[in-house]
Structure 1
């Protein structure tokens, strides 16, 4: 089932690699200036895909949020697999579509995706 948006996490050190890969795979990426830890932009695809980068979203991990259901990927996990293979780095994503109404029980369940494979883990965020 296609998710309404896609969110993945990569280490901040690899944001430039990720944005270069996105441009090669999808099309030109127009990014605005950093405003604090946030940078918004648009992938020039058909239709355009708005995205947002957030540094230090989870420790040294940056959030990449594609605010569209028209991405090349149907799910966070599909995106994480493609990016991990494309930039040869670990990518993290939620286990599945989680919404706040579902409660906190599954909120810390995540997937680590690398070229070597995938593994579910608990990503307990410290306040």
Structure 2
């Protein structure tokens, strides 16, 4: 796991994560410790930008929706790992965006299995 710092610069092991793909990309794969429904878990997180979601729908030759919304999708557990997909309206997932996403997941009080959309819809054009 990387020795990360909080956005305010204070050291906090709570925000450490393991990068499983290069960062500073529109799609990254990380793992980090946390809790879900009162249990300790290892979040196996795939972080996507909304633009990445739009581009993927175009590449798959699927008519993309008119708008996209940010979301958190918690998949069924795989042993001690809990897969989660997060799509945010950010240009890419650099270190600050990754840390903010981890903090958001740690602080989200009503997380449940399934997809949870939030924020205003975002439109893209070719």
State the TM-score, normalized to the length of structure 2.
0.27
When Rg is computed on C-alpha atoms for both structures, the one with the higher figure is 2
State the TM-score, normalized to the length of structure 1.
0.26
